Amino acid sequence: MIPEELVFEKDGIEYMKLCCDITVYWVGSVFEHVEGVLRFHEKAMELMGPDVRFYETGEMAGALPREADTLYLIPQWLQRCDRGRETYMLTLETHTLPNMPSDKAFDFWAIEYPEIPVGAMRLVLPVSYVEDAPESLASLTRMLSEKLDFHSGHAGYAVNWDYKGEYASMSRGRMSRFARRFQGVDLPDIACTLCAIPSGFKCVNWLTLLGKELLAGTGGPDELRSRLPAGILCGELGKGVLIQAGVKPGLGDVNRRDFLPAYHAVGRALEELRSREHPPFLKNSRGVVDEDVTEEWLGRFDS
């Protein structure tokens, strides 16, 4: 059952949704990651494709109803090898209304800047997906990511919100207010996180993925396992590892003393690898986006 504090409504409209998600990041041109990206996309579309109602690309000013080729835009972009663009973006939502977040969605970002190209994919699923059978989310994460040369990633509880919509400012404010209480809920802002990824991973969630470069910073899989207590799984996945903080994810409601010790154990083991260059996206008590508030939340599992 979703706590009432995690239901976000105004005038009968649910403008932000509690969900579970799987997010992966890569460094380098998306055209260097085609096989892994297409694998993730293909499996994601098998789960949610028939339910997609609206889509939006980076060139659009708002969502439009799904078209015949909507589910094939990413394969078309990558197979054409159209390298003349700096940014590729696609959002797919299953809500009955446009520009509203649903609990089954997909995001794709590929930023082809010549200095450090980066990218991300995110699959959003209903909370029931992880609550009915937690291991299903871990299995799906492995399947989606096994062919991708990922930099890092995470999966577990999260929220879905429209960072460009009319409720964007309200959503940022609400996230900032409940961030300290529900520490197991990831707060996404992919555009901001992509700026930080080249210097480290975002933060820990129930599942944390580390790619080969970050893994090397831990001394390798065996050395990393030696830092983690019993009950935390660290399995090799393609060119990296997948760390699982306990048998199921938690909301981390500190008011109910749900302190997520396994998440903290992973956070302590990986603290030196967490990016310290994440742009601010959470607000302070004055309603201003604040670097200190953002960094405090990102580092909540460091100790």
Q: What is the pLDDT of residues 55-65, one digit of tens each?
A: 999 999 999 99
Residue keyed to tokens 């700026």: 195
CA 226 – CA 92 distance, rounded (Å)? 40
Per-residue pLDDT at 82: 63
How many degrees, rounded to 5, is the angle at CA 21 between CA 64 and CA 14?
55
Per-residue pLDDT at 118: 98
Per-residue pLDDT at 245: 98
Q: What one-letter code names the amino acid at 244?
A: Q
Total of domains in the chain: 1
The answer to whether residue 6 sits within a structural domain is no
The answer to whether residue 3 sits within a structural domain is no
Cβ neighbours, 10 Å, residue 47: 15
Per-residue pLDDT at 85: 85
Residue keyed to tokens 């649910």: 14
The answer to whether residue 1 sits within a structural domain is no
pLDDT tens readout for residues 282-291: 999 999 999 9
CA 260 – CA 251 distance, rounded (Å)? 8
The answer to whether residue 259 sits within a structural domain is yes
Residue 83 has pLDDT above 90, yes or no: no
What is the span of the domain harbouring residue 43?
Answer: 13-298
Strands 207-210 and 240-245 come out as antiparallel
Residue 154 has pLDDT above 90, yes or no: yes
Residue 52 has pLDDT above 80, yes or no: yes
| pTM for the predicted model, two decimal places | 0.97
Residue keyed to tokens 């190209």: 117
Per-residue pLDDT at 246: 96
Per-residue pLDDT at 81: 67
CA 164 – CA 118 distance, rounded (Å)? 21
Per-residue pLDDT at 84: 72
pLDDT tens readout for residues 197-252: 999 999 999 999 999 999 999 999 999 999 999 999 999 999 899 999 999 999 99
233: left (phi over 0), alpha (psi -120 to 50) or beta: beta
